[in-house]
Chain A
């Protein structure tokens, strides 16, 4: 499976339009993050792919061929539902064994997955005694058990501690490296922004933005944050540089704690560097920060 396309998908729940003519593509080796407020349609969109929601309209295309969400397609998916809680009466190993049997996966793989998600020690304990993070890791184990080509994760960071996050990140990296696909809905943009290749912003059942983090940053047009540490002791060169910044039209800045903090439009960064070059010795260190994806998301959501 190299390319999955959901095209023109519309879902209504009574009078409410949960999805309106939504389309998106997931390609091999790509991690796509779906973001948006609660009720924006992220989970519904994923459930359409899983065959859990029947859309009024829309089609699924795999590698150029239109297909139905049937058992053959579902066999290629792995799914982690939001806040999953398995039967309290069974052990983690028994839960995984059931899914292994259902998917035709070997028992040896169960052991591998238990180790992978960090539950080998707790595998014989009843799930009822697991913490929320352990249940989430077990859910992740169920999702990756059959090494699916498309991994669908709904709020995968929920309840995960640092150890769990490391497991999640390693799974995401592995899926990308092996040319598989990941589609995940999340509210933890900051936690996952460095791990994703694309972000789709949902609002009221519509897709308001879709692109790589760098593309979306550009589209949002938010300024870069530049921090320049000034040479200690001030001096004429520093004063001249600060004065020049004050008159500069490419951005604005203020001196605080021995550093000049400036907000600069991304196209003006070279102009700032040029200005700095004309005051050699005024700046001893420089740091440029791109706007974080959650800030970009808020901007795109407001504009969309």
Chain B
């Protein structure tokens, strides 16, 4: 990564931390994470972190972190285009894919701050025995955020107006985060349960939010919970898991770089 790209990383981080929407959602995440942790502590149950606080925090993160990530990334490219600064950026001695990569890294760092503050608040407020469990959520939650950040970046690259990009990321959030599981349930109902367990499990894992939830549930409460939910297919191993996350994160970023590099006109 060259000098321009490194400057862009710093610039993006600075700019995003001043975005009021990012601030609002990040603060909301931190407040709700703190509330969940305090509630878990008050319950006083042994192993509350694994049984109560952790799963609640996972549910909260699976809803809010994708939203923070999509808000962070939806205007990365299209916003520059609307401000007439994309051409200015590309007129610097930098390759087009480097701009995409720098935007992703800079905004990824801003996302890391938001996730870090949220989980950090939870860790700080958690009980002695809970902190390790809560801290273990940090990395997977960041991966979830990066996957949605990458999706938002791709949307930002292929759209020509910021309002279109904003609408699309809201649709993506509703589809992948809010209604995905309901959609799968609907599929089971419509097909009268004829869809195989393998297919349903594959469809759950094909969504980064689903993958995150399943992995965290298994990590926090053990595989028997998934079996209780009817998930008889085991989750991918470490290598498979890393591959899936890399696919979700790098796939859209690489596509964004290719789309921007292939474009005949940048303005």
Contact = CB atoms under 8 A, between A and B. Distances in A.
A42 to B, nearest CB: 13
B85 A89 contact: no
Contact of A102 (B4, B15, B18, B84): B4
B87 A50 contact: yes
A81 B80 CA distance: 12
Interface residues of B, number: 27
A193 B230 CA distance: 78
B19 A89 contact: yes
A84 B84 contact: yes
Contacts of A13: 265
A103 interface: yes
Interface string B91-127: 1111100000000000000000000000000000000
Interface stretch (A72-80, A208-216, A218-226, A264-272): A72-80
Q: Is the interface of A mostly helix, strand, loop or mixed?
A: mixed
Contacts, number: 83
A240 to B, nearest CB: 63
A101 B10 contact: yes
Given A52-B266, A53-B265, A87-B15, A81 B84 contact: yes
Nearest to A91: B18
Contact of A52 (B6, B91, B94, B95): B91
B11 to A, nearest CB: 4
B11 A51 contact: no
Contact of B267 (A51, A52, A75, A99): A52
A84 B83 contact: yes
Given A52-B265, A84-B83, A90-B15, A74 B91 contact: yes
Nearest to A98: B11
A51 B4 contact: no
Nearest to B19: A89
A72 B93 contact: yes
A110 to B, nearest CB: 13
Nearest to B263: A54
A85 interface: yes
A71 interface: yes
A153 B267 CA distance: 14
A52 B87 contact: yes
Interface in B163-219: none
Contacts of A142: 88
B14 interface: yes
B158 interface: no
A101 B14 contact: no
A118 to B, nearest CB: 20
Contacts of A104: 3
Contacts of B3: 101-102, 104
B8 interface: yes
A68 to B, nearest CB: 13
B18 A52 contact: no
B90 interface: yes
A130 interface: no
Contacts of A139: 88
B266 to A, nearest CB: 5
B85 A84 contact: yes
A75 B93 contact: yes
A82 B11 CA distance: 22
A279 interface: no
B51 interface: no
A47 interface: yes
A238 interface: no
A83 interface: yes
A169 interface: no
B7 interface: yes
Contacts of B14: 90, 94
Contacts of B88: 79, 81, 84, 139, 142
A50 B93 CA distance: 10
A41 to B, nearest CB: 13
Contact of B92 (A72, A84, A90, A103): A103
B92 A74 contact: yes
A82 B266 contact: no
Given A74-B93, A98-B11, 11 more contacts: A13-B265, A51-B90, A79-B88, A84-B83, A85-B85, A87-B85, A101-B7, A101-B11, A102-B3, A102-B4, A152-B91
16 contacts: A50-B87, A51-B90, A74-B92, A75-B93, A77-B91, A83-B84, A84-B85, A85-B83, A87-B15, A90-B18, A94-B14, A98-B7, A99-B92, A102-B4, A102-B94, A104-B3
